[in-house]
Structure 1
Amino acid sequence: MVGMPSSSRPVIAIIGAGPRGVSLLERLGANLPADAELDIHLVDDTQVGAGRIWRTEQPRELCMNTLADAVTLFTDDAASIAGPVRPGPTLYEWCQLARHAALDDAAEVVARIPAAHVSAFRRVPVRAGLVDDYRAELRDQRPESHPSRSLYGEYIAWCLAHARAALPAGVVVHEHLGRVQATRREAGREVLDLGDEQLVADAVVAATGWLARAVTAEERRILAAVDGHPDLVWVRPDSPADQTLDAVPDRATVIVRGLGMGFFDAMALLTVERGGVFVEDAETPTGLRYVPSGREPVLHVTSRRGVPFRAKTQYGSLPPRAPMHHLRGVDWTAVPRPIDFDARVWPLILRDAFAAYHATLARVKPGSVELDAALAAIRSAPLEADGAATRTRIDALADAVAPFVADAADRLDLAAAIFPGDGETWPSPAAFDAWVARFVADDLAEGARGADSALKAALWSIASARGMVSRIGAFGGFDAESRASGFRTLMTVGGMVGSGPPAFRSRQLLALMAAGLVRFIGPAGAVDVADGAFHASSPAVAGSGVSAAVLVDAWMHAHDLAQTADPLVRSLAAAGRVRPFAAPSRLEGDVDTGGFDVEPESGRIVHADGTVDDAFHVAGIPLDETMHDAIISPMPRTDPTMLRETDRVARSLIAAARAARTRSAS
C-alpha cells in the first residue's frame, strides 16, 4: 500500500493528469507555503502530463479547434482568484520560444513576448527532440493557427514539468499510470484502489475529464444486432483518437451521426490518414481538390440539424472581443436567483447580435444603415414577454430595425443563420447535397471577410455570450425550465456558430463532397438496424434512405451521474457519497441534472443526504451541468472558469489534507 502518510506529512491525490490535473498541481504549488511538506500523487490511465484526450502519440492530423495564442494553463492579472498569480507562456508563445531558442535567434521573438512568460519558459527546458519532432508545425504556426492535439499534449507535459519545478522543496510528486477502480473511507483517510496497488490520501480530487457512460437502450439494440451479424461494424461515441475507426473497411458505405468537431476529426482519419491528399487547385470553387488513395469509405452523414458546424472566422489574428453591451450592462449579481433565462437573458443576447451586425454593416458599407436609429430600435423592441419563442423575438427585432436599412438584401435574417434549413424540404439527396455545399461555401466566404463580415459579427456575439451566461447560471443561477429551453438553445446554437472547425476543414469537406466521398442524408436522420444492415433517412429529404454495414457515431456522450459507467464514480454512488446537482424549478420540487453536486466554494462532493464530504473533490468536465463552462480550455486574459476552479479546489485540498492530519494526530 502506497501513500501512507507519516504522522505529520499530508498526502493529496489528483486523479487525472491532463490539463486540469496539471493546473491543479500548479495551483497547489502556488498556494503552498515555502516550508510545506507534502506528498502529491498524480494518477492517469493514459499519459501523466497530457491525459487521454491530448496524449502525444495520437495522429498529427487531429487538431484543436482553439487558436494557438488563445490557449494557456497559466494565471494572469485578469484572474479573479484568491491564490497568487503565476504567469507563463501561451501555447503559441511556448512554441515560438522553443523553436527559436533551438535556432539561437530568440532575441526578436523574446521582445514580442511578456518578460514574465519568457522567464517562466526559461526555468524548464522543453524535452529533447521536441523541435525536431514538430519542426514543420512550429515553423508554420501563427497566433491564429489550430495546433495539433499532440502538440498541445506536449505543452501540457511541459507545464507539468514547470509546475513540479516550482513546488516547495519539501513537496514530493509521485506518478501512477493506472485507473482508480474504487475508493473508500478508512480511519479518516481515502483509500484508492488502483487494481495492483492501493493509494492512501488525506484529500483527493477527481479531474477525470470525460467519463464513460452506461450503455443506453438504443446502444443495446445495436450491440445485439452487431453480435448477430459479424459483418456489421459500429464505432461507438468517443473521442476520435479512441474510436475504432480502423475497423471501418476500405471503400465501405458508412452512415455517420454527428456534424460537429467529432465528424470533422473522423472525416480526416478516414481520408487523409488512409493515404489521400488534398492539393491546391485554382480551378475548383474553393481552390482545393482531393486526390483519393482508393481506400476511403463513402460517408453518408446526418445530425439533428443536418448541416455541419460553421467554420471559424478568419480574422488573421485572435477573434475580437464581442461588445455585448446589453448583456454586460446588467449587474447580474443583484438579480435574484434563479433567473428566468428566456425572459431576462435571451432578449439581451439577441439585441447584442443585432447591434453587432448593424454596427459592422455601417462600418463596411457606409450609408447602408441609419445606425443610431437602428441601435435605438434594437434597444426598445419589446422582447421580454413571458413565453415568447426565439423566432418571435428575432422577428420583432428584424421588424423594428427594418425601416433603417434601405436595401432588403442588407437586412439580418438571424433565424435563417442560426436555424439553417428549419422547416424546409428537398426533392432529392442531390438537391440537399447541393444546398449543403452552398451553405458551407457561403459560410467560408463570410468567414474569409473576417472582422468585415456583419453576419459573422452577429454570430460571434451569440457564441461569445456563452461564457458570461455560464457564469450567471452557475450552480442553479437559472431555473430548470430555462435550462431546458432558452439556455439549451443558446448552448446549442453557440456551439454550432462558434465552436466549429478550422476553415481549412470546411474547405476539405467541400473537396471531399466534390470527390463523392461525403454525402448528406438530411436533418433529423433516424437510424435503425434491421435485416443485417444499418438504415438511415431524413423526413425532410425525399429518397434519402441509405443502408450500410457500418455506423460511426461521431460525437461524445453528455455526462450523467445517474448513468455513469466509471467504476470510481459508481463506488462513490454505492456508498451514498455523491448525488446529482438539482436545478431549482418554478414548479414544485427541483430537477436533477447529470452533473455532480459539489460545494461551489471548494469543489467537495455533496453526499446523498446533503452533507459535504471532508476530503473528496471533483473538478472539471463532469461538472458542466452544474457549473457550466467546464469544457472550454483556458484563454488568456479572460479570467477563465477552469483556472478559477483549479485555484479554489487546490486551496480546499490543502485545507482538507491539513485538517485530516490534525485529526489523525489528535
Structure 2
Amino acid sequence: MSSSPRPAIAIVGGGPRGVSLVERIGANLADDAVLDIEIVDDTEIGAGRIWRTGQTRELCMNTLADAVTLFTDDAATIAGPVRVGPTLHEWCRLVRHDAGDGGDVSDIPAAHAAVFRRIPVRPGLAADYAAELRAQRPESHPSRSLYGEYIGWCWSHAKAALPPGVRVRERLGRAVAASERDGRQVLSLADGSALRSDAVIAATGWLERGATPGERAVRAAVDADPDLVWVRPESPVDQRLDAVPDGAHAIVRGLGMGFFDAMALLTLGRGGRFAETPDGLRYEPSGREPVLHVTSHRGVPFRAKTQYGSLPPRAALSHLRGVDWTAVPRPIDFDALVWPLILRDAFADYHRTLARVRPGAVDLEAALAAIAAADLDAPRVGVSGAATRERVAVLADAVAPAVPDPRDRLDLVAAMFPGDGLAWASPSGFDAWVAAFVSDDLAASALGADSPLKAALWAIASARGPVGRIGAFGGFDAESRASGFRELGSVGGMAGSGPPAFRNAQLLALQRAGLVRFIGPAASVAAAPGGFHAVSAAVRGSEVRARVLVDAWMHVHDVDATADPLIRSLADAGRVRAFEAPTRTGGGLATGGVDIDPETGRLVHPDGSLDRAFHMAGIPVDQTMHDAIISPMPRTDPTMLRETDRVARSAIDAALTRRTP
C-alpha cells in the first residue's frame, strides 16, 4: 500500500510577497511540522520579475532605503508570531560593515544584526554594489537590483528558519492552469509539468491584461506597417524600448513612474550622461537618444519626492484619525464623510508649517479653528472634482481672514489639479509652463519640511494608507469609489508617489536639450496613415506625428479582462469572480479586483461559496483590499505583512487538514 503524500503548499510568485509568505508559513508552523513547499516563478525566485537582480542599475526604487522591510515588528497586528529583522538600509549597512568597508552599525538594533549574521550574503555582493552602498542614506532610493539582492537574502533566511520537517522545492517556470484532482490541487506549468499540493497561494504580482479596443487599433496599424513601432504598456524593464530607433521621434503616453524609468533607459541607457554645471544640470547626449513627445491626462509629470534629508515625517491627519471608523456603518460615503476631513488636514498642515517657517504670516489658532468649523457639507454634483473645488473654496474663504497677505494663502485647487481649465497659444508656451511647474515643484521639494505646500500635499498623499484600510472589502460605496476615492488615489499618487527629485531635474535638462517635449494635457492619440498622431485640445498647434508610440504605464488588473492563463483557468472552472462594491441603492457593482475572503484570502466562487484551498494575495486584490501595492514599511503595521500572515495561516490549515474530494 502506498503511503499518503506529504502535505504541500504551492506558491505562485517568488518575489517579495512570495518570500514573505514562506517566512510567515515558517513562523506559524509547529516545530515538528511536516510539509512541502513548492514555489514557482517565471523569472527569479527570491527577487521576482520586477526586482530581478540582473537588471540595469539605472532603475531605482520609488521608496526609501530605510522605509522598506520584509520583517514583522512590534507594531504588527497579526495573529502569528513576530520575527524581526533588518530593514533594507540596515541590511545594506551591515553588508558594507562586514565586508570591511567601514561604517558604524552600533545603532542598528542588536536583534536585527543577529538575524543578519545568521545567513551570509552571496559572495561578491559588497564589491558589486560598493559605490551604491557607500553613498546610501536612509532616504536614498536604492537600485531595484539591490532591493532584489535584499529579497534574495530574505529568501535564504526564510528557508533556513523553516522547521526541519519542511522541504522547499523551487521551480523556474510559469503556472498556466489550476485544477482539482483526487482531492488535491494541481498547477500546470508552461513546460508541461505539474505541481500537486493541498493548498495554493497565488502571489503573482502584475498580471497581463487583454487588449483594449484602442490597443487593438494600434496593433492593427503596426501589423499593417512594419515600419511602425509600438512599445506596449508593461513594466519598463520588460518593455521593448530597444525597438525605438536611435534619433526617432516618439509619442509617449504617461508621465508617472513608468515614464521616468523609460526616460532613463532611453537616455542614460543609450550612453548619455548628466553633468553638473554652474548653470544647473546639463545633458550630454550620445546621439542615440530618441526625441520624446509626451502627454498624460494632466499633461505634467508627477511631483518630485520632498527632500527631507531623512525619512518623511508622519502626517498628523488629526481630522481623519479623529473618527472611530469602526463605528461608522458600511458602506461609507467617501465623498460626504472622508474627503472633507482629508481636505481639512491638508489646510491644517499647510498653516502649521507656514506659522513655523514664517512667524506672523498666519494667526494659527484662528486658522485652525476656521478650518475645523468650515461647513463642508457640499451639495452633490455630477463630477467629483467640482465638489472638491467647492469644498476647497469654502476652506480658503474661511481661513483667509487669518492670513493677511494673499500671497501666503493656499491655492489647493491649483496644486491638486495643475493646469486645469487653462489653454495655451503654442507648444512652446506649454513647454515653458511645464518647465516652470517642474522648477517650482523642485524648489518646494528642496525646502523639505519647510515647504507649506508640500506639507499640504503630503497630508493628502499620506491619507491613502489609512483610507485604504477604512475602505477595504467594500468599506466605501461604489459611487464614491468612482468619484472621491478615485480622486484621492490620483491626487495622492501624483503628490506622494512621484520620482526622486533628481529624476525631475534630469527631465528639465532633457527638455532644455530638446529631447523631451510636452504635447499638452489629455492628448488624443490615434494611428494615422504613416504613423501615429497626437494632439491636445488645450494647446494650439500641438499636433505631433511620429512612427513610434511608447505607452509608459501599466494596466490596472481586471479579473474579467485578464489575459493571464492561470486566472482564466480559474474563471473557466467557476472558482473566481470579480469583487463587487456595494452601491447606495443596495446592489453591487463589479470592480477589477479578485474577490477573496477577508479573513483567509481564499477565493470566492461566483455562487458566493469559498474555495477550500486556492488563495490570492497582492496586486490582483488591490481593488478589493486596497493598499496591496505598497512595499511594507517598518513600524507601520503594513497591509502586505498582515495579509501574508493570515493567508499563510489559512494555507497551513488547508494543507495540514486532510480533505477528501
> Given the two structures, how large is their TM-score scaled by the length of structure 1?
0.97
User: 2:310 corresponds to which residue?
Assistant: 317
Aligned AA (2:18) = G
Bigger CA drift: 529-538 or 473-482? 529-538
User: 1:146 corresponds to which residue?
Assistant: 141
Alignment of 1:67-146 (within 5 A): 67-103=64-100, 105=102, 108-109=104-105, 111-146=106-141
CA distance in 1, matches of 2:584, 2:64: 40
User: 2:19 corresponds to which residue?
Assistant: 22
Is 1:250–1:295's contact at 8 Å kept on the other side of the alignment?
yes
Report the Cα offset of residue 609 of structure 1.
1.0
CA distance in 1, matches of 2:378, 2:478: 19
Equivalent in 486, 510, 513 of residue 511 of structure 2: 513
Report the Cα offset of residue 589 of structure 1.
1.9
CA distance in 1, matches of 2:523, 2:114: 53
CA distance in 1, matches of 2:143, 2:83: 26
Equivalent in 173, 177, 184 of residue 182 of structure 1: 177
Alignment of 1:624-635 (within 5 A): 624-635=622-633
Equivalent in 277, 299, 302 of residue 281 of structure 1: 277
SS at match of 2:560: helix
Report the Cα offset of residue 166 of structure 1.
0.5
Report the Cα offset of residue 557 of structure 1.
0.2
CA distance in 1, matches of 2:126, 2:526: 48
User: 2:533 corresponds to which residue?
Assistant: 535
Alignment of 1:647-666 (within 5 A): 647-659=645-657, 661=658, 663=660
SS at match of 1:587: coil
Equivalent in 486, 492, 495 of residue 494 of structure 1: 492
**2:166 matches 1:166:** no
**2:554 matches 1:544:** no
CA distance in 2, matches of 1:576, 1:15: 20
Bigger CA drift: 418-427 or 113-122? 113-122
CA distance in 1, matches of 2:182, 2:214: 43
CA distance in 1, matches of 2:324, 2:377: 18
Q: Point out 4+ residue stretches in structure 1 off by more than 3 angstroms.
A: none
Report the Cα offset of residue 115 of structure 1.
1.1
Bigger CA drift: 546-555 or 379-388? 379-388
CA distance in 2, matches of 1:119, 1:415: 50
Alignment of 1:250-289 (within 5 A): 250-283=246-279, 287-289=280-282
CA distance in 2, matches of 1:238, 1:462: 28
Report the Cα offset of residue 385 of structure 1.
3.3
CA distance in 1, matches of 2:183, 2:593: 26
Aligned AA (1:230) = P
CA distance in 2, matches of 1:6, 1:169: 21
Aligned AA (2:252) = V
CA distance in 1, matches of 2:83, 2:632: 14
CA distance in 2, matches of 1:573, 1:133: 45
Report the Cα offset of residue 100 of structure 1.
1.0
Report the Cα offset of residue 282 of structure 1.
1.4
SS at match of 2:40: strand
SS at match of 1:279: strand
Is 2:233–2:552's contact at 8 Å kept on the other side of the alignment?
yes
CA distance in 2, matches of 1:6, 1:386: 69
**2:51 matches 1:54:** yes
Report the Cα offset of residue 186 of structure 1.
0.8
Aligned length: 654
Report the Cα offset of residue 530 of structure 1.
1.3
Report the Cα offset of residue 338 of structure 1.
0.1
CA distance in 2, matches of 1:337, 1:322: 26
**2:231 matches 1:235:** yes
SS at match of 2:175: coil
Equivalent in 424, 430, 433 of residue 432 of structure 1: 430
SS at match of 1:561: coil
User: 2:384 corresponds to which residue?
Assistant: none
User: 2:295 corresponds to which residue?
Assistant: 302
Report the Cα offset of residue 540 of structure 1.
0.3
**2:220 matches 1:224:** yes
Equivalent in 184, 198, 201 of residue 194 of structure 2: 198
* Structure 2 unmatched runs, 5+: 382-386
* C-alpha RMSD of matched pairs (Å): 1.0
Equivalent in 39, 42, 47 of residue 39 of structure 2: 42
Render the CA deviation track for 1:228-247: whole Å, top value 9, x for unaligned: 11110000000000000000
Is 2:183–2:659's contact at 8 Å kept on the other side of the alignment?
no
Is 2:457–2:495's contact at 8 Å kept on the other side of the alignment?
yes
Bigger CA drift: 404-413 or 381-390? 381-390
Is 1:343–1:386's contact at 8 Å kept on the other side of the alignment?
no
CA distance in 1, matches of 2:380, 2:628: 29
SS at match of 2:99: helix
Aligned AA (1:429) = P
CA distance in 1, matches of 2:401, 2:356: 18
Is 1:225–1:532's contact at 8 Å kept on the other side of the alignment?
no
